[in-house]
């Protein structure tokens, strides 16, 4: 909290705010900040741990019958710190993760260099999480999962849904010039879920925490496992076709174009991690993380309409939490019991 004003004003900080957007973002931001109290953060951490604690296993189980399994890598995840003070500053967060089963081992500079000789002097201390994983190519991974779904008699209809209307024993899904009727639906349209949720009478405080990535192809250096550069708030991940550098948070809404200052910052940050890195091609991407004010998703039946299950609001961790979230949504729609406590994700809590 104390760091926030400085971060917003500092042009070198990984937090960006479009000042003209501030009046619109303010109600969301003030609620979000209130949820930064320790007791609330503990509640949020427990709720998220349920969804991501066994993520690697969940992904493996989901992908077991498809070629998607080939995109899952299991391994370490290393947080990088500039010095011992920065590592010590993170002690509270590391301890909280440990309480939820994610152990962290301190790595010295020589440990880091032994694992990755290309690493810049900038990083003196590491925090190693083992039993992690990453997806080498999220686009192809999802395409392979979709192929598996179709091979199991799933159907795919790609359209822009304009309205969802409760009907007798079902829901009418309306898109341009076409309307289809379903017994039940799962509403899972990321940050764009607000308007469709409103059609069912629910208020949902969702904001886009905009983020960026650089995907570098043809690099001369590949990290041995994913890194989190804690100063730059940038994750660096080895992919099947290069290196992905992702991160930053920008509040500017859904309509603003991408901000070149953000991608420049990622480019500077990767050079601070690997001063000798070179690449042949680069792709830039702006994405919208669907974030609730209490950092917990909406996952469960709509209390206003039992035919609809909500599954959105997974901010920075939608890929990590995807299999468990999807499994819960599928069971709810099929009327199968779940053992997890789903009350933290209760639909209707913002109404």
Binding site for ligand FAD (CB under 6 A): 160-161, 188-192, 211-213, 235, 246, 287-290, 312, 314-320
Minimum CB separation of residue 313 from ligand FAD in Å reads 7
Minimum CB separation of residue 259 from ligand FAD in Å reads 13
Minimum CB separation of residue 180 from ligand FAD in Å reads 13
Pick between residue 160 and residue 183 the one whose CB is nearest to ligand FAD: 160
Pick between residue 166 and residue 318 the one whose CB is nearest to ligand FAD: 318
Minimum CB separation of residue 264 from ligand FAD in Å reads 15
What is the rounded distance in angstroms from the CA atom of residue 262 to the CA atom of residue 100? Answer: 33
Q: Return the sign of the alpha-carbon dihedral for residues 339, 345, 348, 349.
A: positive
Exposed e or buried b per residue across 300-336, where buried means at least 16 C-beta atoms within 10 angstroms of its C-beta: bbbeebebbbbbbbbbbbbbbbbbbbbbbbeebbeee
Residue nearest to ligand FAD (CB): 318
Task: Tokens for 175, please give them.
Answer: 């898109």
Pick between residue 66 and residue 320 the one whose CB is nearest to ligand FAD: 320
Pick between residue 260 and residue 275 the one whose CB is nearest to ligand FAD: 260
Give the phi and the psi of residue 246 in degrees, each rounded to 5. Answer: -130, 150
What is the rounded distance in angstroms from the CA atom of residue 328 to the CA atom of residue 319? Answer: 15
Pick between residue 111 and residue 331 the one whose CB is nearest to ligand FAD: 331
Minimum CB separation of residue 132 from ligand FAD in Å reads 11
What is the rounded distance in angstroms from the CA atom of residue 343 to the CA atom of residue 95? Answer: 25
Residue among 135, 115, 118, 136 nearest 126 (CA): 115
């Amino acid at each position: 909290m104390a760091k926030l004003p400085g971060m917003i004003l500092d042009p070198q900080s990984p937090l960006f705010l479009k000042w003209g957007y501030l009046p619109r973002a303010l109600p969301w931001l003030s609620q979000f900040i209130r949820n930064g109290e320790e007791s609330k953060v503990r509640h949020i951490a427990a709720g998220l741990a349920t969804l991501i604690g066994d993520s690697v296993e969940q992904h493996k189980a989901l992908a077991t019958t498809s070629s998607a399994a080939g995109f899952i890598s299991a391994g370490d995840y290393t947080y990088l710190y500039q010095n011992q003070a920065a590592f010590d500053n993170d002690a509270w967060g590391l301890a909280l993760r440990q309480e939820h089963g994610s152990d962290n081992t301190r790595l010295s500079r020589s440990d880091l260099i032994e694992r990755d000789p290309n690493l810049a002097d900038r990083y003196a201390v590491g925090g190693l999480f083992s039993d992690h994983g990453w997806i080498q190519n999220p686009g192809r991974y999802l395409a392979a999962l979709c192929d598996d779904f179709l091979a199991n008699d799933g159907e795919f209809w790609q359209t822009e849904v304009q309205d969802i209307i409760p009907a007798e024993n079902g829901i009418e899904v309306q898109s341009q010039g076409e309307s289809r009727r379903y017994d039940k639906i799962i509403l899972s349209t990321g940050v764009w879920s607000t308007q469709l949720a409103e059609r069912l009478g629910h208020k949902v405080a969702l904001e886009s925490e905009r983020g960026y990535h650089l995907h570098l192809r043809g690099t001369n250096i590949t990290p041995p496992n994913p890194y989190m550069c804690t100063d730059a708030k940038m994750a660096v991940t080895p992919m099947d076709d290069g290196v992905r550098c992702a991160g930053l948070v920008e509040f500017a809404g859904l309509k603003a174009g991408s901000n070149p200052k953000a991608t420049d910052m990622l480019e500077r940050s990767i050079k601070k991690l690997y001063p000798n890195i070179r690449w042949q091609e680069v792709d830039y991407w702006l994405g919208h993380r669907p974030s609730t004010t209490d950092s917990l998703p909406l996952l469960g039946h709509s209390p206003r309409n039992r035919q609809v299950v909500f599954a959105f609001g997974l901010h920075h961790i939608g890929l990590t939490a995807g299999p468990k979230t999807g499994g819960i949504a599928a069971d709810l729609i099929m009327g199968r019991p779940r053992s997890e406590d789903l009350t933290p994700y209760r639909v209707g809590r913002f109404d």
